[in-house]
Structure 1
Amino acid sequence: MSFLNTTIKIAVIGGGSWATALIKILCEQNNVQIRWWLRNQRDIDHIRKFHHNPSYLSDVVLSPKKVKVFEKTTDAVKGADYVILAVPAAFVRESLQHLTAKHLQGKRVVSAIKGMVPDLNILVTEWVSNDFGIPPEETCVIAGPCHAEEVALEKQSYLSIASTECPTAEDFAALMTCRYVAANPLDDLYGVEYAAIMKNIIALACGITHGLGYGDNFQAVLVSNAMQEIGNLVTALDARERNLSSSAYLGDLLVTSYSQFSRNRLFGNMIGRGYGVKAAQLEMKMIAEGYYATKSIHEINKIHQVNLPITEAVHRILYEENSPAAVIDDLKKLLK
């Protein structure tokens, strides 16, 4: 798919901070037009009038010449070359319910979702291929240590664009590269996607232990053990050679586990401090993908039987209502 000297039309599905950050990055390109779908009509009206998202990253000014907002997904994807999915995994089916395979025919689909489709327990790219007939080689995922808040501040960031075929990843990586973002292509679609899902669960565990009063020494051991856990699961699900110490894997894990901007760490911290799951969800404005991912990975691992002590500890706390203090006390005996 060549876009040399042509206008590239990109539909973005989702109205949160990550969707807004991605649009900011894409607007750095001269030949890009954004077709943006948001669920909230109030936000749509505000963006049309004032050219910024009132609910997320409100300091980011969006060019009205490059960004057009739509109420219907069918209108947003019309004529688009790429469709970026940037909604929480729990809402991806609902957000795309009015689209059919015909609407997405001939388009490349990009998942900016670091979560699994709940209940189905499958990757977002797998769901897109299954339900909309998009060939796997025409899908890719956005991963890497890159918080939306730092994109808004134009702090140097790095992304990994992964696909089963290098040309797809290379094309989209070029679109996501600008003066403050370096984007690199990878051909490990499923490994990157599974690692991105797992790191949210680990960030929850880090938040829980921090809320319980554990210090930096314990957190370092937890994260190093978590990297082994991620590697074991990813290998069981998609065995191939991959460098797990690269930024797409380890870098993403580190920033999500330690950053002040990590919603999964924040959610876990609230649980560790004594909040119930529902109380923590109500207090947070944004979705913590790790909550849903924990259940999905737990269900998947019933088949593969990989040793996942950290993931299982988080599952015991969130879904089996075990005491965080007691569960982490058991977990720390398994770490090395």
Structure 2
Amino acid sequence: MEEGKLRFGVLGGGSWGTAIVKMLSENLEHISWYMRNESAIRHLKVEGHNPNYISSVQFDVSKFLLSNDINEVVSSSDVLIFAIPSAFLENELQRLSVSLSDKIIFSAIKGIVPESGLIVGEHFHDYYQIPFKNIGVLTGPCHAEEVAMERLSYLTIACADSSKAELVAKVLKSDYIRTKISDDIIGTEYAAMLKNIYAIAAGIAHGLGYGDNFQSVLMSNAIREMKRFIDKVYKMKRNINNSAYLGDLLVTGYSTFSRNRMFGNMIGKGYTVKSAMMEMNMVAEGYYATKSAHLLHEKLKKKSKTPIINAVYNILYEEKNPKKVFKKLTEKLD
């Protein structure tokens, strides 16, 4: 496979979708881009930038097929990179009247599909009959805002078919983007989902007034909890200290660009879930992931210890007092 012979399409007009289009545009002459917001498309065609997300990025729109018709973008693409928030993915897929069966699909979505309770790759496999060899995952550590500023960033591209992973890695690579490939498609996708939950926990801790000393203990426990959880779901040889796991966890837990940390910080300061979401005006994937991870953990025959996930779930969904929940959590960490 050669990238010049395959057509790429990006689905999603948010910050991460916009960043992915920026990365692709460094290497490709034609990209199809699905954005649901028709006014954003009109603005982009005239002004050359996304008016709503990382608007500092200026595009050569002559390279783009811009459309708010998902069928047009899917039909015109061989490789599809999905960057639609997991909570809205199935609703968008329901708009499809064309088949995905012959497409190569990469998920840049860091969450679980609520309708199925599955990570995105498994959802495409089980509900849309896409073979795992045609499904991949795109993970960090990499914030869209730093891609916009062309700060050096690293991506991990995972796929059961290494040639497809290498293909996508090649078209995303640039002077400011380093890429590596992995065969741990399930583990990297679960890690991308779980790190958002831990970032919310880090934000709650900050909002409650806990300092750097506690944050370091929280992150140390979080990576071990992540490993236990992923090993229960899909055990294979993996180094949890690699950047796709630990690196992505750290940047999401500590960065000021992290919307999940921001969301958690607001919860820790006393905001309700609804008020925090309204003020952010962005999707915090970790909110939806927390419920899905909790339900999945309950279904596992042999549960692992997940005190951090349990604490975040109790605060967000059981409306428990964050201060009291974290007081108990501090006694369970080491």
Deviation at 1:131, TM superposition (A): 2.1
The match for 2:250 is 254
**Which residue matches 1:13?**
11
Question: Is the 1:119–1:296 contact (alpha carbons within 8 Å) kept by the matching residues of 2?
Answer: no
Partner of 1:306: 304
Match of 1:182 in 2: 178
| 1:325 partner letter | K
- Kept in 2: contact 1:116–1:293 (CA 8 A): yes
Q: Which moved more, 1:102-111 or 1:211-220?
A: 102-111
- Counterpart AA for 1:14: G
Matched, 1:136 2:132: yes
Determine if contact 1:212/1:325 at 8 Å carries over to the other structure: yes
2:322 alignment counterpart: 324
Per-residue deviation, 1:65: 2.2
Which residue does the alignment assign to 2:89? 92
CA distance in 2, matches of 1:78, 1:297: 34
Q: What amino acid sits opposite 2:2 in the alignment? A: F
- By how many angstroms is 1:105 displaced? 2.7
| 1:131-170 correspondence to structure 2 within 5 Å | 131-170=127-166
Q: Distance in 1 between matches of 2:68 and 2:203?
A: 37
AA of the residue aligned to 2:216 = A
Q: Deviation at 1:7?
A: 4.6
Contact 2:90-2:115 within 8 A present in 1 as well: no
**Equivalent position of 1:334 in the other structure:** 332
2:34 corresponds, among 37, 42, 50, to 37
1:206-257 C-alpha deviation (Å, 9 max, x unpaired): 0000000000000000000000000000000000110110100000000000
What is the SS of the residue equivalent to 2:31? strand
Alignment partner, residue 21 of structure 2: 23
Code of the aligned partner of 2:223: M
Contact kept, 8 Å, 2:32 with 2:76, in 1: the verdict is no
Deviations 1:125-183 (A, max 9, x none): 11111222211111101102100000000000000001122222111111111110011
Partners of 1:178 and 1:104 lie apart in 2 by 29
Describe how 1:203-218 pairs up with structure 2 within 5 A: 203-218=199-214
1:70 corresponds in structure 2 to: 67
**Structure 2 stretches lacking a partner, 5+ long:** none
- TM-score using structure 1 length: 0.97
Structure 2 CA distance for aligned equivalents of residues 297 and 178 of structure 1 = 35
Deviations 1:78-119 (A, max 9, x none): 13111111011000011121225x522321001000000014
One-letter amino acid matched to 2:283: I
- Runs of 4+ in structure 1 displaced over 4 angstroms? none
Counterpart residue number, 1:222: 218
* In structure 2, distance between residues paired with 1:299 and 1:70: 36
Deviates more, 1:206-215 or 1:38-47: 38-47
Looking at structure 2, the residues matched to 321 and 264 of structure 1 have their Cα atoms a distance apart, in angstroms, of 18
Work out whether residues 8 and 32 of structure 1, in 8 Å CA contact, stay in contact via their aligned partners in 2: no
What are the residue-to-residue correspondences of 1:183-198 with 2, within 5 Å?
183-198=179-194
Give the Å deviation of 1:186: 0.3
TM-superposed deviation, 1:32: 4.1
Percent identity, aligned pairs only, is: 46
Q: CA–CA distance in 2 between the matches of 1:231 and 1:71?
A: 39
Number of matched residues?
A: 332
The residue aligned with 1:46 is 43
Counterpart secondary structure, 2:33 = strand
Contact 1:10 1:32 in 2 (8 A): no
CA contact (8 A) 2:31 2:64 kept: yes
